Amino acid sequence: MKRLSELRKAHNLSQKTLAENLKIAQNTLSQYETGKREPDLETLQAIASYFDVSVDYLLNEMDNPTPRKKSIKIPVLGRVQAGIPIEAIEEIIDYEEITEEMARKGEHFALKIKGNSMEPQISDNDVVIVRKCSDCESGSIAVVLVNGEDATVKRIKKRPEGVMLIPANPAYEAMFYTNEEIASLPLVIIGKVVEQRRSWE
């Protein structure tokens, strides 16, 4: 599928990244691109949806892709601090785009990750898309401010007596905060991580 290779390269994606995003083996994706193997209809539809094109375009039956969905630009922040509204932070290091559909679900910002406490799931310098909220369900990966310091990104686990912030990297220990500490420090959830973006350069 020549079009698949063209789309992947146009979006600056490695075969590994695209395969992971589509939840297929990298070798399978390579065979799709070289024509050694043909994807089934369900996979074709998944690829078309991922790139916002039609199946006909993927199969070289159309000259032009369907129009891409409109996107909304959101700021990528290098840090988030207590007491400063997201919209007032001046340390904007880049911009990312999200779909209008995602934007309708709430206010979003992006955060560049520092450190490796969430590896291998989220690595240093990855960018995460965050939906602003003051609370989220247990098990979510959240952006949390503790004691007025810079934001930390951890999986949260709620308990009746408090909240645990859980790193993905086993080299780091989980931190538990009682309900009293949550109120006194304070510990504040400022958003839920809804998407991750990684650069392979």
Return the H-helix or E-strand segment holding 21.
helix 15-22
> Considering all CA atoms of the chain, what is the largest pairwise distance in Å, rounded to the nearest integer?
63
The average confidence (pLDDT) of the chain is: 86
Q: What domains does the chain contain, in order, with CATH numbers?
A: 2-58 (1.10.260.40), 71-197 (2.10.109.10)
- Segment 11-28, tens digit of pLDDT: 888 999 999 989 999 999
The alpha-carbon radius of gyration of the chain (Å, integer) is 20
pLDDT at 63: 55
- Residues contacting 172, CB < 8 A, separation 6+: 117
Mean pLDDT in residue range 30-53: 88
Return the H-helix or E-strand segment holding 142.
strand 141-146
The answer to whether the CB of 193 falls within 8 A of the CB of 136 is no
The answer to whether the CB of 81 falls within 8 A of the CB of 128 is no
pLDDT tier at 138 (50, 70, 90 boundaries)?
very high
Which residues are catalytically annotated? Answer: 117, 154
What is the pTM for the complete model shown? Answer: 0.62
- Lowest mean pLDDT across 76-80, 134-138, 181-185: 76-80
- Segment 49-106, tens digit of pLDDT: 888 888 888 887 555 555 555 688 999 988 775 555 555 455 788 899 898 888 889 9
3 state DSSP class of 201: coil
Q: Report CA torsion sign: 184, 186, 187, 188.
A: positive
Mean pLDDT in residue range 187-193: 93
Mean pLDDT in residue range 123-130: 91
Report DSSP state, residue 22.
H
- Whose tokens are 């500490």? That residue is 181
Q: How far apart, in whole angstroms, are the C-alpha atoms of residue 109 and residue 132?
A: 7
pLDDT at 52: 83
